[in-house]
Structure 1
Amino acid sequence: MAGEQLGVLNALDVAKTQWYHFTAIIIAGMGFFTDAYDLFCISLVTKLLGRIYYHVDGAEKPGTLPPNVSAAVNGVAFCGTLAGQLFFGWLGDKMGRKKVYGMTLMLMVICSVASGLSFGHSANGVMATLCFFRFWLGFGIGGDYPLSATIMSEYANKKTRGAFIAAVFAMQGFGILAGGMFALIISSAFMARFDAPAYEVNAVASTVPQADYVWRIILMVGALPAALTYYWRMKMPETARYTALVAKNAKQAASDMSKVLQVDLEAEEQKVQKMSEATTNSFGLFTKAFLRRHGLHLLGTTTTWFLLDIAFYSQNLFQKDIFSAIGWIPAAKTMNAIQEVFKIARAQTLIALFSTVPGYWFTVFLIDRIGRFAIQLMGFFFMTVFMFALAIPYDHWTHKDNRIGFVIMYSLTFFFANFGPNATTFVVPAEIFPARLRSTCHGISAASGKLGAMVGAFGFLYLAQNQDKTKTDAGYPAGIGVRNSLIVLGVVNFLGMLFTFLVPESKGKSLEEMSGENEDADAEEGQPAAHNNRTVPV
């Protein structure tokens, strides 16, 4: 039998969209802006790092990062992010969302600056220091995932909750865009400041001292948006759902939300006490009751996020290699280091501007209309279609006359990733689990995604390096590695479509209705929970 909803939680569920909703979106979203900038800006500077630290005097080609170093530089932040998602997700349920929120932000600020100050007596020493600081940067970023999603879901009303959570995540698109635009500005400024012909003479070596400043500045700027948000994060009150349902403090929850909603709310201490007594032996994460009620849901959120991130992060981190393979970015030996940063940043900025960012906001506007399930299934489907459409006739796309067509279709995979599973895999885990386990389960789901990102980063690097010796008519490698990678990513997206059927639809329902927290705690053992909706929404 369903229990009665607390007044303070019902007030949040039915509240009209107010200024505090937009404030929460900005405060939480700036963390994701920073997350995306910090995670993806490394792809803008990896080729520059190879030129600066691994160029051999007299060599005909510019220096490149050794495969093991490249894998470490690209992937170490994901290792930290995975650990941070698990740790801070668990801590958010133990200590409260707000107490942990500031820790993650300060870690991001400190490690962003430290990454740009990486030092060492040798090239490997500098890379080792960079990897150390990027691991801890990732650790802080990881904490932002479960905390931001949980805070936004617990502040939102049930009518537009999906849009609010998706809007927080959509700030990731602006972070990716900002990284590309800032790299364009810095590289342009350095090319204008220093004599361009001098660079051209030494285009292959490109070891001018000024080039070393470019990557350091790009990495350190990621600290600014996080630092500017810290004060406002500390002013946010704890969410009412944590205070009332987990901390069992009805008076504090009513007081906090009265200020937020600007209405008088009653402190229902007796009702909270009754709920507390009824749920003294509530199931934990590693129990048969959790497995029965939410086991398939957790399997669905972890597998779909894992599969999505294999494809999504592979595309983002190595799109520069794909564009080089089809000839959209000129051969490295024809450019100096800073010119190469400029051209890579320009390509990634165009992709972000015309496909990545619009995809996020299509989700924001439509998620509460057509639902999470439909958007996720559609996104995986079209990602699968476009990946195979690029991979199967790959030789056709490498011809210089068809290059623009390749870029357009490749851009559409980004659009449907973001108007699809990249947004919904973030939203759903913040809605379907109990308050006492919500942050933990979101952290587990997100960590599964980062495991997929690591598989994508390291796996794609291996496949993309297995290029054959043949050349296209434009003089670029045909790249059986790129073709193989696209085929693998197509299969991964298809599997994601299948596992989407394990994820429940949460559109228009309260968090307590989805998790079953307002049900009678003394329900008969083994009786199906009333909240346990059909896994496949039809």
Structure 2
Amino acid sequence: MTSDNLTVLNALDTARTQWYHVTAVIIAGMGFFTDAYDLFCITTVSKLLGRLYYYDPTTHAPGKLPHNVNNWITGIALVGTLTGQLVFGWLGDKLGRKKVYGLTLILMVICAISSGLSIGYSRKIVIGTLCFFRFWLGFGIGGDYPLSATIMSEYANKRTRGAFIAAVFAMQGVGIIFAGLVSMIVSKLFLMNYAGEAFKIDEVFSTEPEADYVWRIVLMLGALPALLTYYWRMKMPETGRYTAIIEGNAKQAAIDMGKVLEIEIQADGEKLAKFKAANEYPLLSNEFFMRHGLHLIGTMSTWFLLDIAFYSQNLTQKDILPTMGLVRDAKSISALREMFETSRAMFVIALLGTFPGYWFTVFFIEKIGRFKIQLMGFFMMSVFMAIIGIKYDYLRNKENKWTFAALYGLTFFFANFGPNSTTFVLPAELFPTRVRSTCHALSAASGKAGAMVSAFGVQQYTQDGNVHKIKQAMMFLAFTNMIGFCCTFLVTETKGRSLEEISGEDEKQNEMQTKSTRPDSGRQDDGWD
């Protein structure tokens, strides 16, 4: 079924792919680039923070973050992200996508810079200040999830909508790559000052004096892409669907989208009134639950389960990479050298495993479909994680490190050519315009709840490098992925259909029109029927 109700919606659904689609992907995507960089660069510097602020001269060993401190440093931004998703997602439906879109970037810029400027006379104050600003950084990042997805879905045509939303999300992969690359470059530049010098592991100077600048520079550089994107984000017009369906301004929607599409669009004021009247049921209603309840449970559960595995993979890399032989033991290298080797390993895995997965989704999502890609991704992740867990003793031997790295990289590949991408796409398509941003926010917040399970739970099993605990963690993640595979059956395929057809908004209006044209439609209800 296609929309025969509002000209502006038909125009958006059938528009040829043109330059404004590309600019929308770039503008929204740069926000996700920033999100990923800010969330994952902390993994590259967390060990450095331990070497700097938790060195104990009595032990003559490299400093290390206590477990609870490490969990809060890496996880506090996820708490902020969950909160920001709920707040900005709701505001996106109440105030408009564009009005709150710029606020997220401003908050990200301020807090990324402030994170790097965390200072104090004691390590407790430095770490506490860092956690404070990373919470608010996450709060801004959280707003980007529902707003970017909703804006892209409402701008795109129905033939390429999934690819465009996936392309926005694929910038997360670029951000993860740059988190490793920037950390690698910055640490290497400072290491060049010590070329040819050896650091003794029984002295405090095993942590280079300039190391305190390194982590600050890495964190503050996260403000740059958000700052560069702000002007263009503010120039984007409000989406035609929000202006027409939620604000009820058919004329302004026709003008705005006419300029974007470079065509003339009829206002359709009378049709719009009927459309709104047919779709006014609220989020907390029996009708919403009957029409979309299972879909919402499906998008929330799959994203929750996916992020347990996905963030466990990313946040625990620093602990697993040494067991793979890709990073030397901390006792044998200086602090910046450890950061350089950790960042280099993360960069290579992201480049060869993580990044290609995102773009495979972009290229194949309109051919294979969201549903099949998500099923395949969950299943393959479960298989590879189970293999790693079962064969961990064999794989951790140095002669098998490249087999380990390949299996580990494949879990990243199928996470992104799979549910990590599709769980972002589906909530932007399945729900009605009036609550689209809110429903995406609820789904994304469920994901961040899963990420918090990994940050505050799974990390406990990997920080010490305990073989038995790492095996248990991998088997647990394989199990959660199989549950995600099963929960995928709660959602439906959305490719090739208009947003209004998917959400049932067209169907609801057509029902109302049919009733209004019946011979007895004007008869008053006497209460006896």
Structure 1 and Structure 2 fold alike (TM over 0.5):
yes
Give 1:60 shift: 3.0
- Residue by residue over 1:473-513, the C-alpha shift from the partner in whole angstroms, topping out at 9 and shown as x without a partner, is xxxxxx11111110111001111101011111101000000
- Residue by residue over 1:432-463, the C-alpha shift from the partner in whole angstroms, topping out at 9 and shown as x without a partner, is 10000000000000000000000011111212
Aligned with residue 317 of structure 1, among 315, 328, 335: 315
Aligned with residue 368 of structure 1, among 366, 369, 372: 366
**Alignment partner, residue 388 of structure 1:** 386
Give 1:144 shift: 0.1
**Alignment partner, residue 471 of structure 2:** 483
The answer to whether the aligner puts 1:56 opposite 2:44 as a matched pair is no
**Alignment partner, residue 409 of structure 1:** 407
**Alignment partner, residue 122 of structure 1:** 122
**Alignment partner, residue 295 of structure 1:** 293
**Alignment partner, residue 420 of structure 2:** 422
Give 1:171 shift: 0.3
Contact 2:85–2:142, Cα closer than 8 Å, also in 1: yes
**Alignment partner, residue 462 of structure 2:** 464
Give 1:205 shift: 4.9
Contact 1:429–1:442, Cα closer than 8 Å, also in 2: yes
AA matched with 1:418: N
Q: 1:203 to 1:146 in 2, by over 3 A?
A: farther
**Alignment partner, residue 80 of structure 1:** 80
AA matched with 2:130: L
Q: Counterpart of 2:508 in 1: which secondary structure?
A: coil
Matches of 1:445 and 1:383, distance apart in 2? 21
Matches of 1:274 and 1:201, distance apart in 2? 75
**Alignment partner, residue 41 of structure 1:** 41
AA matched with 1:488: F
Q: Counterpart of 1:208 in 2: which secondary structure?
A: coil
Q: 1:335 to 1:203 in 2, by over 3 A?
A: farther
**Alignment partner, residue 455 of structure 1:** 453
Q: 1:46 to 1:91 in 2, by over 3 A?
A: same
Matches of 2:105 and 2:429, distance apart in 1? 23
- Residue by residue over 1:182-218, the C-alpha shift from the partner in whole angstroms, topping out at 9 and shown as x without a partner, is 1111111001124551545767653433000000000
Which region of structure 1 is more displaced relative to structure 2, 54-63 or 154-163? 54-63
- Residue by residue over 1:132-186, the C-alpha shift from the partner in whole angstroms, topping out at 9 and shown as x without a partner, is 0000000000000000000000000000000000000000000000111111111
Matches of 2:21 and 2:133, distance apart in 1? 34
Q: Counterpart of 2:77 in 1: which secondary structure?
A: helix
Aligned with residue 334 of structure 1, among 332, 349, 362: 332
AA matched with 1:130: L
Q: Counterpart of 1:264 in 2: which secondary structure?
A: coil
Matches of 1:242 and 1:205, distance apart in 2? 58
Matches of 1:203 and 1:329, distance apart in 2? 21
**Alignment partner, residue 112 of structure 1:** 112
Matches of 1:263 and 1:109, distance apart in 2? 37
Matches of 1:489 and 1:372, distance apart in 2? 22
Q: Counterpart of 2:310 in 1: which secondary structure?
A: helix
**Alignment partner, residue 471 of structure 1:** none
Q: Counterpart of 2:506 in 1: which secondary structure?
A: coil
The answer to whether the aligner puts 1:504 opposite 2:492 as a matched pair is yes
Contact 2:86–2:442, Cα closer than 8 Å, also in 1: yes
Give 1:466 shift: 6.4
Return 5+ residue gaps in structure 1 as ranges.
469-478, 528-538
Among the aligned pairs, what percent are the same residue? 61
Contact 1:203–1:337, Cα closer than 8 Å, also in 2: no
- Residue by residue over 1:362-382, the C-alpha shift from the partner in whole angstroms, topping out at 9 and shown as x without a partner, is 000000001000000000000
Contact 1:2–1:520, Cα closer than 8 Å, also in 2: no
AA matched with 2:227: A
AA matched with 1:293: R
The answer to whether the aligner puts 1:157 opposite 2:157 as a matched pair is yes
Contact 1:383–1:490, Cα closer than 8 Å, also in 2: yes
Give 1:78 shift: 0.3
**Alignment partner, residue 473 of structure 1:** none
- The 5-angstrom pairing of residues 46-445 of structure 1 reads 46-194=46-194, 196-197=196-197, 199=199, 205-279=205-279, 282-445=280-443
Matches of 1:377 and 1:2, distance apart in 2? 27
Name the Cα RMSD after superposition: 1.7
Q: Counterpart of 1:197 in 2: which secondary structure?
A: coil
Q: Counterpart of 1:16 in 2: which secondary structure?
A: coil
- Residue by residue over 1:45-100, the C-alpha shift from the partner in whole angstroms, topping out at 9 and shown as x without a partner, is 00000000000114232000011110100100000000000000000000000000
Matches of 2:199 and 2:103, distance apart in 1? 43
Q: Counterpart of 1:157 in 2: which secondary structure?
A: coil
Which region of structure 1 is more displaced relative to structure 2, 323-332 or 237-246? 323-332
Contact 1:62–1:205, Cα closer than 8 Å, also in 2: no
Matches of 2:57 and 2:137, distance apart in 1? 34
Aligned with residue 514 of structure 1, among 497, 502, 505: 502
Give 1:255 shift: 0.4
Q: 1:203 to 1:230 in 2, by over 3 A?
A: farther
Give 1:27 shift: 0.2
AA matched with 2:411: T
- Residue by residue over 1:88-141, the C-alpha shift from the partner in whole angstroms, topping out at 9 and shown as x without a partner, is 000000000000000001000000000000012211111000000000000000
Contact 2:112–2:137, Cα closer than 8 Å, also in 1: yes
Matches of 1:277 and 1:319, distance apart in 2? 52
Q: Counterpart of 2:297 in 1: which secondary structure?
A: helix
Matches of 1:195 and 1:504, distance apart in 2? 58
Matches of 2:104 and 2:196, distance apart in 1? 42
Which region of structure 1 is more displaced relative to structure 2, 50-59 or 414-423? 50-59
Q: 1:494 to 1:190 in 2, by over 3 A?
A: same
Return 5+ residue gaps in structure 2 as ranges.
516-529
AA matched with 1:343: E
Matches of 1:521 and 1:328, distance apart in 2? 59
Contact 2:3–2:501, Cα closer than 8 Å, also in 1: no
Q: 1:177 to 1:467 in 2, by over 3 A?
A: closer
Contact 2:319–2:465, Cα closer than 8 Å, also in 1: no
Q: Counterpart of 1:133 in 2: which secondary structure?
A: helix
AA matched with 1:432: L
Contact 1:202–1:336, Cα closer than 8 Å, also in 2: no
Give 1:522 shift: 8.6
Contact 1:204–1:336, Cα closer than 8 Å, also in 2: no
Matches of 1:393 and 1:164, distance apart in 2? 39
**Alignment partner, residue 476 of structure 1:** none
Matches of 1:443 and 1:265, distance apart in 2? 31
Matches of 2:37 and 2:72, distance apart in 1? 18
Contact 1:430–1:439, Cα closer than 8 Å, also in 2: yes
Q: Counterpart of 2:74 in 1: which secondary structure?
A: helix
TM-score by length of 2: 0.94
Q: 1:203 to 1:397 in 2, by over 3 A?
A: farther
Contact 1:377–1:500, Cα closer than 8 Å, also in 2: yes
